[in-house]
Structures are given as C-alpha cells and as structure tokens.
Amino acid sequence: MLRSMYSGISGMKNFQAKLDVIGNNIANVNTYGFKKGRTTFKDLVSQQISGAGAPGTNIGGTNPKQIGLGSQMAAIDTIDTQGSLQTTGRALDLGISGDGYFVVVNGNGDKFLTRAGNFYLDANGSIVNSDGFKLLDSAGTALKIPTDASSFSIGADGSITVVGGAGTNNPTNPIALAKIPNPAGLEKAGSNLYRVTKNSGNDTVALSKPGDSTKGVGSLVSGALEMSNVDLSEEFTEMIVAQRGFQANTKIITTSDEILQELVNLKR
C-alpha cells in the first residue's frame, strides 16, 4: 500500500482532534475563568531511503534521502493568559489581576484551584462556589462571614471587612491565592476547577496573601469577574485552517486510492 494513504489518515486524525479543541474553546467563550486550549503537531518517524555521504577528494557530499510517514499529536496546551475583567458590582464576585488561583475544598477535603471568582454565601455564612466547595483563607481554613452581618467588603489584599452584627468577628486571615510554577501542567477537573499534577508543581498547594509581591500571586478585584480568554476571531480562523487541512488529507487518500485502482486495472 502507498505511504501517502497512511500519512493522510494520520493527518485526518490530528485535524479532527484540533477541531475538538476548537469546539471546546468556542463552547466556553462565556465561561468565567476559562483558559483556552491549543493543539500542536509533530512529524512521525521518517523512512530512510539513503544516508548522507561524506565529501571526498574528488566529489562532494550528499544529503540523506528520507520519506516522512505522517504526523502525530505533539501537545494540547492550556493557554493561561489573563482574561479581561468584567465589572459586576457584586461583593462576592472576585477577579484575580495576576497569576494566582483561588483554592477551594470539597466535602472530602480535596483541594482544587480555580480562576472563576463567582462565590456565594451558604446558610452557615461559609463562602462557597456554585458546587458548594468552600473557599480557603491563607491559613488553610474555610472562610466564614457572620450570618447577622449587614454588609461586608473585600479588599485587594483579600481582607474581609464586616459591617454590622458581630462585626468584631471579621475573618482574621485573608482570602488565599496559590501560585503554580507551571500552570500549563494543571489538570482540568471540570466545573472550572483544576488539580495539581506532578508537573505543575506545588503538590501541597502553598497558600499566599493576595498582593504579596514576593509570591507573585497578584491581587483581588472585588465586584468583577475574569472572563474567558477565548478570542472568537482567532478560533474561527483556526477552524478554517483545520477544516482545509482535513479536506487536503482526504484528497491525499482519494488520490492514493485512484492510483491503486489504476495498478489493479493493469491486468484486464
């Protein structure tokens, strides 16, 4: 069988994966804190037809002759650039200006990271996300606001100021942010959450105070939410490239099939 046919098959598979990533990006264009994905390819091993020849006294050297055998997936990257901040005016809508992540914990004590800052208060005064996971402070404990408070505000350093009610019971520790050495190494866990991995660093999720310049976690913006960093114009352009690449690889397979048909028809 022709090498070009199998090269075309590998190209079709790769462009299908690229379209899957683009589709996910577009589907999450309005998801708070979403970080877009990017697909990259690399070539497969090349078949050696002849090796390189060294130059001699009376003749020059020759280059190697190789035929590539297609392409394969190199990586699916998470692009962790800052999304734009949308003002909401709601006290528990928090945006991060910088590289940090909020840290939330579920009922089993498992910690997750997130850039989505749309938080809420439950009946006990705990600050939770839409799934009920509790937001942690810099000491690693769940944050609570007195249930009889008339109002509260959150500063850029993560400090919470309570007005009215048991106002003296202000949370003593600010909202925590975590800095990850390699954000692209985080594992997406769904629901706008990330898990640390062996390649992301900070397996224990080190907590820091927002605005700490020595930690580089960034600062909080109260009353704002970080939007998705998906650029629709870029995604549609990439979609066109992927579609045409897919079509070109189908043409390679069709042409190879026609050549095989001609070979079969040599004997009539």
Q: What is the pLDDT of residues 202-253, one digit of tens each?
A: 755 556 666 565 567 888 999 999 999 999 999 999 999 999 999 999 999 8
For 104, left (φ over 0), alpha (ψ -120 to 50), or beta?
beta
User: Considering the entire predicted model, what is its pTM?
Assistant: 0.85
Check if the beta carbon of residue 202 is closer than 8 Å to that of residue 103: no
Cα–Cα distances (Å) from 89 to 84, 86, 193, in that order, read: 15, 9, 24
How far apart CA 224 and CA 78 sit, in angstroms, is 23
How far apart CA 152 and CA 170 sit, in angstroms, is 9
Q: Compare 151 and 15 and report the one with higher pLDDT.
A: 15
- For residue 97, pLDDT over 60 is answered with yes
How far apart CA 231 and CA 145 sit, in angstroms, is 37
Q: Read off the pLDDT of each residue in 122-134 and give the average, rounded to a whole number.
A: 93
Q: Could you read off the pLDDT of 36-90 as tens digits, one per residue?
A: 999 999 998 888 888 898 888 888 898 889 888 889 999 999 999 999 999 999 9
Task: Please enumerate in sequence order all residues whose Cβ is within 8 A of that of 190, keeping only pairs 6 or more positions apart, or say none.
Answer: none
Half-sphere exposure of 88 (CA within 13 A, CB side): 19
